Chain A
Amino acid sequence: MNGYGGKILRVNLTTGKITKEQTPIDVARDFIGGRGFGAYFLYKEVPRGADPLGPDNKLIISSGPMSGLMIPGAGKCDFTTKSPLTGGYASASMGGHFTAEIKYAGLDSIILEGISSKPVFLFIDNDRVELRDASEYWGKGTIAAEKQFKEKFGEEFQVAVIGPGGENVVSYACINHDFGRQAGRGGVGAVMGVKKVKAIVIHGSKSIPVADVNAYRVAGKALYKACKDASFLQEWIRYGTTVVTSWCDEVGALPTRNFSAGSFEDGKGLYAPVMREKIVITDKGCFGCPSPCGKYSRSKKYGSYVEGPEYETIGLLGSNLGISDIEAVAQANLLADDAGIDTISAGNAIGWAMECYEKGILTSKDTDGYDLHFGNIEATFDLIGKIARKEGFGALLADGVKKASQKIGKGTDKFAIHVKGMEQSAYATHNATAMLLAYMTCDVGAHHNRSWAITYDLQVGRDLVVPEKVARVIWLQNFRPMFDVLGGCRLQWVELGIERDLYIAALDAITGIHRDWNDYEMVGDRIWNLTRMFWAREIDGFDRRYDIPSPRFYEEAPESGATKGQITKIEDVHRLLDMYYEQRGWSKNGLPTSERLASLNLSELVA
């Protein structure tokens, strides 16, 4: 198949059996690749009620038809599993160079099944695929382990590796790659860890078949030229995602002290120009990227180097913890990356603990002696390690804020900031109804990347609850994640403003199949509905209650900052859901109807 590696690799860790099969043509037609393949194989192959940490769960790692080709940003890899954090669907996207090697090894997906009896790593060098003993790597941080793999096998091998967080099955453990890229959310690293797979080490040298080589070259060049000519390319490269830090502070979207406010009075120390001047030493991009948003930084104070911090980490390990020192955020970033835990969930968990402490619900007797007032940098550093090791108070936080608040009780669930059990990423949504709806209905929990609608809120009126806002959220949810399906990055499109049709020409040339954006959006819609059905299948009584956000956004208005006194009413939360379900063609309880599923050719799969 043009644009594909052509094979699905299955690795049964229980038996050690390794097999390959042809990538199914009908699955490629209906789900295309990447996140689409993940959703399909997850729904079809993981049995109902499977323990996320048991042998029946699978970790599905997929490239897409863009991956590994000369298309701007063609370096995205999808990791899909049943989430140990939420019990539902998890899909995490990772940049870097890993996805290209999957394709060059002649593969589209790698499916890890079962559980190994001892630590192993998966070694792939073209057609040579082996499970090897990982005892000398087990227990090491992600950075040391990746370095050791690279030294042993060579720079041409790409490595996806877990740290102590994954080994100890922290519910929000991530998978790391290229010393600073993560498949961060939903606990994909915990699933890899419980399967006792320390790493996947991969290299390939095969060609990727392309339907029309000349047209592909022309379309690829046009895409790169459009990036090069983009009027804000240099500004985007200079700051990357951190360009939004000061803006979020200004408009009340910067999570501050466990999302109790959206503006941070000491936020200036975190702003992009300060970070660029104080710690950034160079820019770092993914495979084939003409607009590298990664910032490689050095902290003189801590004597450390890290890729980052990017905006989400600044928000969650900075302002959300009352920390205004960008060097401290960079150090916390490094500690979390090396431990292999998601900075977004970790920042939420520590922020929740700090609020518990400040309210007197937890004391130093509960927190292993730590003074957990907001702003305590040293305690933050220590807690990251304790979470990764599941040690003492860290063990409570390692399960995520939903479960931690259920254990502590005393009303702490009111300020556990999550949807469906996944901690909210770095946009405070007290008064931004489209962004709030995006979090409420996101397919993995409270994550921003499916539908980033906060600018739209500001443009049309942030507290408006109207069908147009709901339609915008749905369009974004169907369209933006298509880049995770195609195995590419959305940022050239959304931030550099690359015309969408330039991608169509490239994809047509690669696959030899003409699809317009309506066709791609239909696939996005199909995947969205399938993953919704996965939640409904796996969670008893799954209904609209799982789409309700943290009470923080409908019960407690911030006492300071740009959104002081502003709140979304609970009636409006339900109105948003009513409109959303209607526009999606779902029941009043938020479940796809049989007619809706039939219209997306999903009836047979979900039967």
Chain B
Amino acid sequence: MTAIIQTSSGLKSYLDGKGEFEVIAGRTVFDTLVDLNIKPELIALVVVAGEQKSKDYVIQENDIVKVMAVIGGG
């Protein structure tokens, strides 16, 4: 029961350069981010299979969950 969390490149600068994490399915994106020591409030966008999801989305098996932090603004 695993899934993948992919982080945007800007966020990687806060994560020692790491951009991809294998995680346990069945938990929310929010809780999973906390587990990974990523502050959920940094995340502007959660996308699974091309669809935008909320941070309350429960991660499913084999999901690739893309989480995007906006680092640069306009």
Chain B associates with chain A: yes
Residues of A within 8 A of B (CB): 230-232, 234-235, 239, 241, 243-244, 246-247, 250-251, 273, 310-312, 425, 427, 448-449, 452, 454-455, 458-459, 480, 490-491, 493-497
CA distance A244 to B71 in the complex (A): 10
B68/A454 in contact, CB under 8 A: no
Cβ of A235 and Cβ of B68 under 8 Å apart? yes
| Contacting residue for B8 out of A310, A490, A497, CB 8 A | A497
Residues of B within 8 A of A230 (CB): 9
Q: Is the CB of B72 within 8 A of A494?
A: yes
Q: Are B70 and A495 in contact (CB under 8 A)?
A: yes
Q: How far is the CB of A250 from chain B (nearest CB, A)?
A: 7
Tell me how far the C-beta of A274 lies from the nearest C-beta in chain B, rounded to whole angstroms: 11
Residues on A with C-beta less than 8 A from B24 are: none
Contact A491 B72 (CB under 8 A): yes
Chain A: CB-nearest residue to B50: A234
Instruction: Say if the beta carbon of B41 comes within 8 Å of chain A.
Output: yes
Asked whether, in the complex, the Cβ of A448 is within 8 Å of the Cβ of B8, the reply is: no
A459 touches B39 (CB 8 A): yes
Task: Kindly state the separation between the CA atoms of A190 and B58 in the bound complex, as whole angstroms.
Answer: 53
The answer to whether the Cβ of B36 comes within 8 Å of any Cβ in the partner chain is no
**B10/A247 in contact, CB under 8 A:** no
Give bound CA distance, A69 to B35, whole Å.
45
Question: How far apart are the CA atoms of A425 and B73 in the complex, in Å?
Answer: 11
**1/0 contact string of B37-74 vs chain A (CB within 8 Å):** 00101111101001010000000000000101111111
Given contacts A251-B41, A458-B39, A494-B10, is CB(A235)–CB(B47) below 8 Å?
Answer: yes
Is residue B28 within 8 Å, beta carbon to beta carbon, of the partner chain?
no
Q: CA separation between A241 and B13, bound complex, in Å? A: 20
Give 23 CB contacts A-B under 8 Å: A231-B19, A231-B66, A232-B68, A234-B50, A235-B45, A235-B47, A235-B66, A244-B73, A273-B52, A312-B74, A427-B73, A449-B73, A452-B71, A452-B73, A455-B10, A455-B42, A458-B39, A459-B42, A491-B72, A493-B72, A494-B71, A495-B70, A497-B8
Tell me, in angstroms, the Cα distance from A497 to B10 when the chains sit together.
Answer: 6
Inter-chain contacts of B14 with A (CB < 8 A) = 459
B12 in the interface (beta carbon within 8 A):
yes
Return chain A residues, CB-CB under 8 Å to B8. Answer: 231-232, 495, 497
CA distance A576 to B59 in the complex (A): 42
Pick the most buried of B8, B44, B47, B66: most chain A CB atoms within 10 A of its CB.
B44
Contact A496 B9 (CB under 8 A): yes
Q: Return chain B residues, CB-CB under 8 Å to A427.
A: 73
**B9 engages A458 (CB within 8 Å):** no
8 Å CB interface, B1-43 against A: 6, 8-10, 12, 14, 19, 39, 41-43
Could you tell me the distance between the alpha carbons of A231 and B43 in the complex, rounded to whole angstroms?
A: 15
- Do B66 and A247 touch across chains, with their CB atoms under 8 A apart? no
Q: Are B72 and A495 in contact (CB under 8 A)?
A: yes
List the A side residues contacting B39 at CB < 8 Å: 458-459
**Distance between A294 CB and nearest chain B CB, rounded to angstroms:** 12
- Closest chain B residue to A239 by CB distance? B45
> Whose C-beta in chain A lies nearest to the C-beta of B19?
A231
How far does the Cβ of A590 sit from chain B's closest Cβ, in whole Å? 25
The reply to whether A311 and B74 contact each other, CB–CB distance below 8 Å, is: yes
In the complex, chain B residues whose CB is within 8 Å of the CB of A232: 8-9, 66, 68
CA distance A491 to B47 in the complex (A): 20
Secondary structure call for the A interface: helix
Chain A nearest CB: distance from B51 CB in Å?
A: 9
Chain B residues with CB under 8 Å of A310's CB are 74
Q: Which residues of A contact B71 (CB under 8 A)?
A: 452, 455, 494-495
Nearest Cβ in chain B — how far from A453, in angstroms?
A: 9
Taking the closest CB of chain A, its distance from the CB of B16, in whole angstroms, is: 13
Assess the B70–A455 pair: CB atoms within 8 A. Answer: yes
- The residues of A that contact B69 with a CB separation of less than 8 Å are 455
Question: Are the C-beta atoms of B74 and A449 separated by less than 8 Å?
Answer: yes
Within the complex, the shortest CB–CB distance from B66 to chain A, in Å, comes to: 7
CB nearest to A447 among chain B residues: B74
A231: nearest chain-B partner, CB-CB: B6
Closest to B7 in A: A231
User: How far, in angstroms, from A311 to B72 measured CA to CA in the complex?
Assistant: 13
For B20, give the chain A residue with the smallest CB separation.
Answer: A231
Q: How far is the CB of A517 from chain B (nearest CB, A)?
A: 15
Contact call B10/A495, Cβ cutoff below 8 A: yes
Write out the residue numbers on chain A whose beta carbons fall within 8 Å of the beta carbon of B52: 273
State A250–B41 Cα separation when bound (angstroms): 8
Interchain CB contact under 8 A, A490 and B72: yes
Given the complex, which residues of B lie within 8 Å of A452, measured CB to CB?
Answer: 71-74
CA distance A491 to B71 in the complex (A): 10
Question: How far apart sit A192 and B4, CA to CA, in the bound complex (Å)?
Answer: 53
Residue of chain B at shortest CB distance from A226: B9
| Set of chain B residues within 8 Å of A425, measured between Cβ atoms | 74
- Which of the listed residues A232, A250, A312, A458 has the most CB atoms from chain B within 10 Å of its own CB? A232
Residue of B nearest to A476 (CB): B72
Which chain B residue has the least Cβ–Cβ distance from A498? B9
Known: A241-B74, A494-B72, A497-B10. 18 other contacts (CB 8 A): A230-B9, A231-B9, A232-B68, A235-B45, A235-B68, A246-B44, A250-B41, A312-B74, A452-B71, A452-B72, A452-B74, A455-B42, A458-B42, A480-B72, A490-B72, A494-B71, A495-B10, A497-B9
In the complex, the answer to whether B74 meets A448 with C-beta atoms within 8 Å is yes
The smallest beta-carbon distance between B18 and chain A, in angstroms, is 13
Q: Is the CB of B70 within 8 A of A243?
A: yes
- Nearest A residue (CB) for B14: A459
Q: Say how far A369's CB is from chain B's closest CB, in angstroms.
A: 36
Tell me the nearest residue of chain A to B51, going by C-beta.
Answer: A273
Query: Which A-chain residue is minimally distant from B74 (CB atoms)?
Result: A241
Identify the closest chain B residue to A245 (Cβ): B44
A240, closest chain B residue (CB): B74
Cα-based distance from A428 to B43 in the complex (angstroms): 18
Does the CB pair A243–B45 fall under 8 Å? yes
The list of the 4 closest CB pairs from A to B, nearest first, reads: A497-B9, A494-B72, A452-B73, A247-B44
Query: Which residues of A lie under 8 Å from residue B43 when comparing CB positions?
Result: 247
CA distance A436 to B43 in the complex (A): 21
Closest Cβ of chain B to A67, distance in Å, is 20
| Closest beta carbon of chain B to A502's beta carbon, Å | 13
Inside 8 A of B70's CB, which chain A residues have their CB? Answer: 243-244, 247, 455, 495
